Amino acid sequence: MMVDALGQFFVNPLPLSGFIKAVLILPLCLSISIVYKATRMDDLSRLRPAVAGLCLTIVVGMYAVGLGLWLMFQLFS
């Protein structure tokens, strides 16, 4: 029964507004940054600033790519 309930999210997804979609990128980028930096760093005492920098870089980069694609779409359509 639990599988049927979880499967319903794929058949009938939850409606999310544009703002919520934009905010949900933050925990995704944070988790990717933590895992990546934790596996790459030798000295974990400097993990927090490294994770913050990488997370900020990923978020800004993804928003910049999204903005660029949106501008191209507006220009060519």
Task: Report the predicted TM-score, pTM, of the whole model to 2 decimal places.
Answer: 0.77
Domain ranges within the chain, ordered by starting residue = 17-76
The predicted structure's pLDDT at residue 64: 97
Only one residue has tokens 């490294």, namely 50
**8-60 pLDDT, tens digit each:** 878 887 888 889 988 999 999 999 999 999 999 999 999 999 999 999 999 99
Q: Is the pLDDT of residue 63 over 90?
A: yes
Between 25-40 and 47-76, two packed helices, what is the crossing angle to 10 degrees? 130
Q: Tell me the helices (H) and strands (E) count for the chain, helix number first.
A: 4, 0
> In this predicted model, which residue has the larger pLDDT, 37 or 7?
37
Tokens 């934009």 identify what position?
A: 22
Q: What's the pLDDT at 47?
A: 96
21/49 Cα distance (integer angstroms): 26
Residue 38 to residue 54: CA distance in whole angstroms: 12
